[in-house]
Structure 1
Amino acid sequence: MSARYLQEEHHIFRSALRKFLKKEAYPFYDQWEEDRIIPRSFWTKMGNSGFLCPWVDEQFGGLNADFGYSVVLLEELERVGSSLVGVGLHNDIVTPYLAEYGNEEQKNRWLPGCISGDSITAIAMTEPSAGSDLAGIKMTAVRDGNDYILNGEKTFITNGIHADIIVVVCKTDPKAIPAHKGISLIVVERDTSGFTRGKKLNKIGLHSQDTAELIFEDARVPASNLLGEEGKGFYYLMQQLQQERLIVAIEAITAAEEMLNQTIEYVKNRNAFGKKISDFQTVQFRIAEMATEVELGRTFLDDLIMEHMEHKHIVKQVSMAKYWTTEMARKIATECMQLHGGYGYMEEYEIARRYRDIPVASIYAGTNEIMKSIIAKELGL
C-alpha cells in the first residue's frame, strides 16, 4: 500500500533512483565498507543525476520538490546500507540551514555546490564534553573586525572528512544568561586558516560513513559567514530538529523492513530437522510479531510525514517516532540475527552489518532519553 503523500511522480523518481543505485552503489558498497569511506565521485554522480537536495528552489539549481522526494531518497539509500546516512544528512539536515537562514548572497554562494555534489556539508554540534546538552558547548567565536576567531573542538561529526561546508555551533557570547542565548551558527569552509580535521573515527558500525574530529585553533572566518542572526543559533537548531528526528525514524523503519524481509527469505530457504525453518511455529510467531511492529511503525510514520509536509507542529509525535522506531529496529536486528543462526554472525550475511549499524540511531539526533524527556514535557509533566 502506497503512502498518501506519494504521487505518480514520486514513484517515477523512485524507479530512476533505484536504477541509479543498482549501478552506482550496490556493486561497490562492500568495498566502501572495507575502505572505510564513500568516494567523493559517488556524491558528484548523485548530483549529476538530480538526487542531491531536490527540494531546493529552482533559482539555485534545485527542483523545488516536496518532502516526499526526500523520503524516497532516504528509504532507497538506507536499503543500500546505513553508511549512506551522510547523504541524507547533507540533503535534508544541513542544507536546509543554508536555505532557511542564509541571505541571498550566501545561498547563491553555497547552494549550487550542495546540489551538484561539489560541496559536501556537515553540521558540527557535539563536542568532547557536550553532546545532548547543546547549551553546554565550549566552542567560541570572538568578533575581530570583519572576522570571527573560532576556538574549540567538535567530535562525532558526520561527513567530517569530506565536508567542504560546515555549519558550526559556537558561542558568540559566552557570558549570556541563559547560556543558549549566546549560541550562533557560523559556516566554516574547507580551506579556512586554523581549521584542521583530526582523525577519522573508528566506529563499531557505519564503517564507510566518514565521521571525524574537527579542530579550530584561531580559525579566522569572515563575519559574512554568520548564518542568520547572532545569538539565534539555539533557536534555529530547535526549529530544524523536528525534521532531523523524523529523518532518523524514516531510516530506522526502512532498516527494520529490510532486516525483516531478508530474514523471511532466509527462514523460508533454510532447512533444519528435515523441514524449512519457516515451518516451525515458534519461528512463525516471532516473524509475525516483528512484522506487526514494523507495520505499526510504518503506519504511524507515514501519518507524521503527511503532517510534517503540512507544516504542523508535531514535536511530541516525532520524538515518539524517533524513540520507538529506533528501539524497535534494534530489537528487530537482534531477533533477525538469532533466526539466521551461526550464519547471522558471518560478515557474508548482511544482517551482521545491519546489527552493527542500527544501535547508533538511538543515540544521534538526540538520545532516546532526551526524546522521552521531550515527550514528558509535551504531556505537561
Structure 2
Amino acid sequence: MHPEDTLGTVRNCLARLRTAFDAATVALARRCSAQGRLSGDKLDAEQVASFELAWAAADLLAADAGIAALGAQSSELDARLALLFAVEAGQAVLARLEMLHLELGLPRDALRALRDDAGWEALCHSAAGSQALDAAGRAVAASDGEVGRLALDEPHAMAQEAFRRFAAEVVAPQAEAIHRDNLTVPESLLQPLREMGVFGLSVPEQYGGSAPDGHEDALLMVLVTEALSEGSLAAAGSLITRPEILTRALVAGGTPQQQAHWLPKLAAGDPLCAIAITEPDFGSDVAALTLRGTRVAGGWRLDGAKTWCTFAGKAGLLMVVTRTDPDRALGHKGLSLLLVEKPSFDGHDFVFRQPEGGTLSGRAIPTIGYRGMHSFDLSFEDFFVPDANVVGGEAGLGKGFYYTMAGMVGGRMQTAARACGVMRAALRAAIRYSHDRKVFGQALAEFPLTRAKLARMGARLASCRQLAGAVARQVDRGEGRMEASLVKLLACRSAEMVTREALQLHGGMGYAEESPVSRYFVDARVLSIFEGAEETLALKVVARSLLERALGTA
C-alpha cells in the first residue's frame, strides 16, 4: 500500500472502531443507569463489561495518538511502529467490541464488515505481517531503543538530555547494589537530585520551585520521570511522586502560612516526604479509611495503621489521610489531611516516641522488586499532631479526599512515565544482548522471531511514549483527567509485557539476579498496582467517566 493510502486506511478503520465503541458505551451506560444516573449496584454487576470497555478505550486512544503524531519529521521507524501498534491494538479492540456487542444485544454487522474488509486485511498484512515485523525488528535492533521520539522545544529537550545523562552516569551504576542489597536510596543520589531541582518540579516558582506560576508543566515531569526511571525505578524514578502529591494538596487547600512554610522546603527536598493513604483493610477504597484522629487541646491524636507508605522511613514529613469525623456514614467527607513530622531513618524499621508519649512505628515490607525507597507498615498510637499541621486549617477538615485527589492526576502521569522509562531500559538491554548473544552459529538478532519480538516491544514503547506526551499536554491545558488514568493503565501493563520479553530474550541470564533485566521485570510488576490499582482505575475512574459522558452527566 502507498504510505498515504495506508494512513488513510488506518484512520478510517480506527474511526469505524470508535463508532462501534461509542455504541457499546451508550448501551452499557443505559444498562448501568436508573432514572438517567449511574447506579452503583448496576455498575458492580457489569464489572467485566466495564473492564473490557476501559481497555478498549486505552488501546484506541493510544493508536489514535501514535497515528496523529506522524508527520514530516517522523522517522520511517516511528511510522512503522505506529502502524504496527495501531493494527495490533485495533485487532484487540475489535475482539473486545464483538464480545461487548454480543453481551449488550447490539448488532455486530459493522464489526463483521470491518473484520472482512479488504482494506483492513491489506493493512494488517502490510503493517503487522511477518515481513513487516521483520523490517520493523531490524530497524529497532539498529535504533538502540530510540523509538517514539517526541517533538520537543529546546528547554524540554535539554532537560530530557540532562536527566538521561544523569541517570546513565550516576543512577544506573548504583542501581544494582541498591536492589540486590535492599538498600535505602543513598545521599549520593539524593543530594545531586536536590541540586538539579528535581523535588521542586511541581512547586510554583514563587515558592522556590520550577513550575510556572498559574499552570502546570506535566510534560517536563513526564520527561524527567521517564529518564530517571530508565536508570532505576526505585532508586530515582519514583522520588518525585510524593512531593508532587503533597505539593498539589497544599496548593489546592493549604493555608497561605502552610504554603509559605512547606512549599520551599519540599522544593529543596528537605525534608523528604511520604504519603500515607492505604490501610491494611482498605486498598484503593479511600472513602472507607479508618485511621482515627481525635481532637484534643491544640491538635489531634492519631490512632490506627497505614500500610504501603513508600519512603516513610527516610521521609521527615508524612501526609496522612485521617478520619477526623467519627461518623463513618460520611465516607470520604469525613477525611482530612494531617502533616506528621518525624526524624529521618535509613533502616528497615523505626520507632519514634514523642516527649508527650505518642508513638509512631514503622516496618519495611519485604518485596520482590521496587527496592530502595521501601514501603512501610505504620502504626500510630496516641500520636499528637498540632492544629497548624491540618492542611487547610479548620476550613480543611473533611476535605482531605479532595486535596489528595488533586495530586493523583500528576501521580498517574508520573507512573506512566516510569513505565516508559523501565520499558526503554529493557528494550535497550534486549537489543544489546540480541546482538551479542550467539546461538546456533549466529546472533540472536538475526532470527526472525527475535526481530518480531523487538518490533512489538518497540511499538508498545513508542505508542506509550506518544500517548504520555499527548496527555501531558492535555493536563497542561487543565484537561485530561480521565486520559491520565488511561495512559497509566496502558503503559503499566505494557511495561510488564516488554520487560517479560526482554528477560525471555536473555534466556537463563535474564533470570539471574546479576542481569539488570531481571530487576526491570520485577520492578515493572508493581506499576499496575500502585497509584491506583489497574482494576480500580479501569472500573471506578475510566469506565465510570466514559459511562457518565455517555449519559450526559459528566
- TM-score band (shorter)? over 0.9
| Aligned match for 1:184, one of 314, 336, 346 | 336
Give a deviation string over 1:223-245, Cα, whole Å, max 9, x none. 11111211011122233222211
Structure 1's 240 and 143: CA in aligned 2 closer, same or farther, altered over 3 A?
same
Q: Does 1:344 align with 2:510?
A: yes
Q: Give the match for residue 15 of structure 1.
A: 161
Q: Give the match for residue 43 of structure 1.
A: 190
Give a deviation string over 1:227-269, Cα, whole Å, max 9, x none. 1211011122233222211211111122112211211121122
Q: Does 1:116 align with 2:249?
A: no
SS in 1 for 2:319: strand
Structure 1's 159 and 80: CA in aligned 2 closer, same or farther, altered over 3 A?
same
- Displacement of 1:168 in angstroms is 0.4
| Aligned match for 2:442, one of 275, 279, 283 | 275
Q: Give the match for residue 200 of structure 1.
A: 364
- Displacement of 1:146 in angstroms is 1.8
**Using the alignment, how far apart are the partners of 1:20 and 1:339 within structure 2?**
28
8 Å Cα contact 2:223/2:417 also seen in 1: no
| Aligned match for 1:156, one of 294, 308, 312 | 308
Structure 1's 354 and 116: CA in aligned 2 closer, same or farther, altered over 3 A?
same
SS in 1 for 2:326: coil
- Displacement of 1:132 in angstroms is 0.8
Give a deviation string over 1:96-121, Cα, whole Å, max 9, x none. 22333222211222222222222101
Structure 1's 38 and 309: CA in aligned 2 closer, same or farther, altered over 3 A?
same
8 Å Cα contact 1:267/1:339 also seen in 2: yes
Q: Give the match for residue 251 of structure 1.
A: 418
- Displacement of 1:94 in angstroms is 2.7
**Using the alignment, how far apart are the partners of 1:282 and 1:63 within structure 2?**
46
SS in 1 for 2:199: coil
Q: Give the match for residue 239 of structure 1.
A: 406
8 Å Cα contact 1:168/1:186 also seen in 2: yes
Which runs of no fewer than 5 residues in structure 1 stay unpaired? none
- Displacement of 1:64 in angstroms is 3.2
Farther-moved stretch of structure 1 (215-224 vs 170-179): 170-179
**Using the alignment, how far apart are the partners of 1:261 and 1:21 within structure 2?**
14
| Bigger helix share | 2
**Using the alignment, how far apart are the partners of 1:366 and 1:55 within structure 2?**
20
**Using the alignment, how far apart are the partners of 1:32 and 1:48 within structure 2?**
21
Farther-moved stretch of structure 1 (34-43 vs 222-231): 34-43
Structure 1's 58 and 301: CA in aligned 2 closer, same or farther, altered over 3 A?
closer
Q: Does 1:73 align with 2:224?
A: yes
- Displacement of 1:370 in angstroms is 0.7
- Displacement of 1:28 in angstroms is 2.2
SS in 2 for 1:151: strand
Which runs of no fewer than 5 residues in structure 2 stay unpaired? 1-73, 75-148, 344-352, 549-554
**Using the alignment, how far apart are the partners of 2:161 and 2:467 within structure 1?**
25
Structure 1's 162 and 204: CA in aligned 2 closer, same or farther, altered over 3 A?
same
Structure 1's 123 and 334: CA in aligned 2 closer, same or farther, altered over 3 A?
same
8 Å Cα contact 1:260/1:291 also seen in 2: yes
8 Å Cα contact 2:222/2:468 also seen in 1: no
Q: Give the match for residue 377 of structure 2.
A: 213
**Using the alignment, how far apart are the partners of 1:246 and 1:64 within structure 2?**
16
Identical counterparts, % of pairs: 30
8 Å Cα contact 2:222/2:413 also seen in 1: no
8 Å Cα contact 2:249/2:406 also seen in 1: no
**Using the alignment, how far apart are the partners of 1:202 and 1:17 within structure 2?**
29
Aligned residues: 379
**Using the alignment, how far apart are the partners of 2:336 and 2:433 within structure 1?**
50
Structure 1's 355 and 20: CA in aligned 2 closer, same or farther, altered over 3 A?
closer
Equivalent residue letter for 2:228 = L
Q: Once superposed, which parts of structure 1, at least 4 consecutive aligned residues long, lie more than 6 Å away?
A: none
Structure 1's 242 and 57: CA in aligned 2 closer, same or farther, altered over 3 A?
closer
8 Å Cα contact 2:230/2:237 also seen in 1: no
Farther-moved stretch of structure 1 (266-275 vs 288-297): 288-297
TM-score by length of 1: 0.93
8 Å Cα contact 2:246/2:407 also seen in 1: no
Equivalent residue letter for 1:152 = G
Q: Does 1:360 align with 2:526?
A: yes
**Using the alignment, how far apart are the partners of 1:88 and 1:36 within structure 2?**
19
8 Å Cα contact 2:302/2:384 also seen in 1: yes
Give a deviation string over 1:131-174, Cα, whole Å, max 9, x none. 11111111011111321111111111111111111110010112
Equivalent residue letter for 1:133 = D
**Using the alignment, how far apart are the partners of 2:302 and 2:503 within structure 1?**
46
8 Å Cα contact 1:89/1:122 also seen in 2: no
**Using the alignment, how far apart are the partners of 1:152 and 1:227 within structure 2?**
20
- Displacement of 1:19 in angstroms is 4.3
- Displacement of 1:26 in angstroms is 2.8
8 Å Cα contact 1:147/1:222 also seen in 2: yes
**Using the alignment, how far apart are the partners of 1:126 and 1:68 within structure 2?**
28
**Using the alignment, how far apart are the partners of 2:376 and 2:238 within structure 1?**
12
- Displacement of 1:23 in angstroms is 4.7
8 Å Cα contact 2:437/2:444 also seen in 1: yes
Q: Give the match for residue 172 of structure 2.
A: 26
Structure 1's 199 and 145: CA in aligned 2 closer, same or farther, altered over 3 A?
same
